[in-house]
Amino acid sequence: MKQSKILIIAAHPDDEIIGCGGTILKLRKKNKIRILFTCKTYDKRVRKNSKNFNERRIIAVRVAKYLKIDTPIFLDYNGLSLKRQDITQMARSLHEEITKFKPNTIFMHCIDDNHHDHRATAEATLIATRPSKINKFLKKIYSYEVASATEKLINKNKAFNPNFFVDISKTYKQKIKILKRFYKDELKPYPNFLSIKSIENQIKFRGNSVNLFAAEAFETIRSIK
């Protein structure tokens, strides 16, 4: 990838690191990277030992600072109760932020992800990035996978099918370190998909599939040369 502006669009904190943390670490020095979170995480969910939304917001800011990238943007939509009109409004919010930042590349959720807030965010992103003369700066869009949410997609008999791979052999250990340090409360014991060991297994599996030691995998949504 040539030097560019890169926007990571995620439903909530931890998705950005699980989905493309190694890629962020690899590209951050030569590119301007910004993360945008669309949703409040625990608006209607009660989970023992989980951090509330304000704590997660603080942690996400700390992660960005640790990565030495821009402070994240938070849109604060109610992720688990999103309705049609909310997705339409989210698309408008995303369009405004995209027009201001003018990213050359966007990484987004998979449209067939198992999580409602992930799918809603993906749909809003696709609406916000419809090709037009206003967003000619946007050349590449990729969707990322999220452990526990994309192994079996919402559409029957469909699986995440990557066709773009980023070699993170030199950065994956730091990605794991970030997950352990900042997002440990979201991790689960092995063999759950959201365990550290399973995430490492996925990284190595994606790498091995293209003869690399470690990789993050993406589906190409748009690529303009």
Residue with tokens 């790498």: 207
Instruction: Confirm if 180 and 35 have CB atoms less than 8 A apart.
Output: no
Q: pLDDT 10s per residue in the chain (225 long)?
A: 557 999 999 999 999 999 999 999 999 999 999 999 999 866 454 454 455 768 889 999 999 999 999 999 999 999 878 999 999 999 999 999 999 999 999 999 999 999 999 999 999 999 999 999 999 999 999 999 999 888 878 776 788 999 999 999 999 999 999 999 999 999 999 999 999 999 999 999 999 999 999 999 999 999 999
How many separate domains does the chain show? 1
Pairwise CA distance, residues 3 & 15, whole Å:
24
Neighbours of 210 (CB within 10 A): 12
CATH code: domain of residue 78: 3.40.50.10320
Sequence-ordered list of residues with C-beta below 8 angstroms from that of 81, at least 6 positions apart, any chain: 43, 44
Pairwise CA distance, residues 54 & 61, whole Å:
11
Domain limits for position 23: 5-223
